Amino acid sequence: DAKTTQPNSMESNEEEPVHLPCNHSTISGTDYIHWYRQLPSQGPEYVIHGLTSNVNNRMASLAIAEDRKSSTLILHRATLRDAAVYYCITNFGSNYKLTFGKGTLLTVNP
């Protein structure tokens, strides 16, 4: 399974952009890159996913390196509600299993 490496924690100020990095140097050519986030005592919430091209949705943008060995989740204007643990996942088994790493705890300061 492809492993991911994320910083344990990051801090941001409200209304500023946040760039959350993820390294996945062993990713295979057909693995998608997924990002989920989890608030305390809640199930994870989908944020964004992509394969090779950069992706944008209403929540965030995903910038994927050309060699696909790393990616960056971009929150364009952080809000207090964005404070959560963000998980970057790239390994998918035959049944689409999602294997979670430790994630990045994002703190947003008012």
Partner 1 sequence: GAVVSQHPSRVICKSGTSVKIECRSLDFQATTMFWYRQFPKQSLMLMATSNEGSKATYEQGVEKDKFLINHASLTLSTLTVTSAHPEDSSFYICSAGGGDTEAFFGQGTRLTVV
Tell me which residues touch partner 1 (CB under 8 A): 32, 34, 36, 41-46, 49, 51, 87, 92, 95-103
d(CA 75, CA 15): 10
| Nearest approach, Cβ of residue 75 and partner 1 (Å) | 17
Closer of 42 and 110 to partner 1 (Cβ): 42
Chain centre distance of CA 18:
11
β-bridge mates for residue 72, sequence order: 21, 63
β-bridge mates for residue 21, sequence order: 72
Closer of 74 and 105 to partner 1 (Cβ): 105
